[in-house]
Amino acid sequence: MADKGALRVYTELPSWAKGVVVVGGLFVGYLAVTSIIKAIKSKKTKEESLAEVNNAATELNTQIKSGKGPTIQRSTAEVMSNAIVAASNAGGSGSVVGDTTTTMMWLAGVPPIQVLHGYIAAFVALFVSGYFAAKQQESYQSIIRSSQSGRSVDWGRIFIVFFILITAVVTNVVVNIKFSDLSDYFPFIGVSVWIALFILIPLRKPDWSIIPGAFKGSIFLLALVLTASMMPVEKLPPASWYSTFGLGFLSAVFDNIPLTELGIKQNNYDWGMLAYCVGYGGSMIWFGSSAGVAVANLFPEAKSVGRWVKEGWHVTLAYIVGFAAIMLIWGWHPMLIAHK
């Protein structure tokens, strides 16, 4: 099936699957047409709303400058949490340094190019989820172009992040080429990251005040991964496009890190498709991914699974549409990796 084009894949789908593709296409077309019509007809100024938002922005900036933490209402936190986690996991789906799961694949021997096509599904999912998340945010509080945030890009922080990433990548390449026989006995990448952090201390003074909150989130994440790894699951269903699709839903409740480990041991997956499914699929519930745990640690209101699923229904829809896109455009291309 690896050499089949999109049209041929579609013609060989079962009747129910063809129906899903057709209905999905009609639904997306309907959304596009209605949004265009609404954009043409919508010419309201909302002057009172503009003044209210500008006042809120001014008050927020005052609180930030005074050192006080602004409070965020429940509905805002939920909308922001769903959108942030979905966008974060979509952004890391096609990069071996973009997510924990893709990095695990890379360290196991998956070439970076074999993960890159995960962005096909991720971009489509991001567009679908972003559209509905933006509508939710707009219904709560409009984004005003004239409001001044008073913030600028911190290029120093960006340099620090890139320096750490480059250090990790270079270390991994050198170790795999020169010291592959020692890679299982010493944490070369972890040590190189720590060295990079110590080198960069003069650029930014460490903010030790955030350690208690971050430590709580780290302990919870470690406990979650440990619990998932202790579950009596020794292997996954045979690797196929439909079993990979199901892993996306499983990753939302099982945690995608031990799930990825099982996938690597089983082997012969389409690694870009698997990266998308276990990565973006984990966005459907807050504890399904590291990004969700981190955001929920900042906004405790997001820890309600029921409200997360209710407010973030578009994340599940986006996952399905994104998977359909990668199947029709790219197809299923499994690849065996040589385990160390």
According to the model, what pLDDT value does residue 317 have?
A: 94
Whether residue 116 has pLDDT greater than 60: yes
Beta strands in 189-294 (DSSP E): none
CA distance 68 to 60: 9
Q: How many CB atoms lie within 10 A of CB 29?
A: 10
State mean pLDDT over 138-152.
67
CB-based burial of residue 127 (10 Å sphere; 0-12 exposed, 13-18 middle, 19+ buried)? middle
Arithmetic mean of pLDDT, 13-27: 63
The encoded tokens of residue 111 equal 């070439």
User: Rounded to whole angstroms, how far apart are CA atoms 168 and 196?
Assistant: 9
Question: Which helix (H) or strand (E) is 284 found in, with range?
Answer: none
Domain ranges of the chain: 1-37, 73-143+211-329
The CA dihedral of 181, 169, 189, 297, to the nearest 10 degrees, is -140
The pLDDT, as a whole number, for residue 176 is 74
Q: How far is CA 121 from the centre of its chain?
A: 12
Tens of pLDDT, residue by residue over 162-207, are 888 888 888 877 887 777 777 777 888 888 888 988 888 888 777 7
**Rounded-to-integer distance, Cα 83 and Cα 299, Å:** 13
pLDDT value, residue 119: 94
Residue 138 pLDDT grade (very low, low, confident, very high; cuts 50, 70, 90): confident
Q: Is the pLDDT of residue 74 over 50?
A: no
More confident residue, 265 or 217: 265
Q: Which amino acid, residue 334? A: P
The residue with greater pLDDT, 284 or 23, is 284
- For the stretch 276-319, pLDDT in tens is 999 999 889 888 887 888 787 777 777 788 888 888 899 999 99
Q: What is the C-alpha to C-alpha distance for residues 142 and 153, in angstroms, rounded to an integer? A: 23
Note whether 252 and 288 are within 8 A (CB). yes
Element (H, E) at 319: helix 313-329
Length of the chain: 340
The average pLDDT across 51-60 equals 60
Residues 221-241: pLDDT tens digits?
A: 677 667 666 666 667 788 899
pLDDT at position 260 over 70 = yes
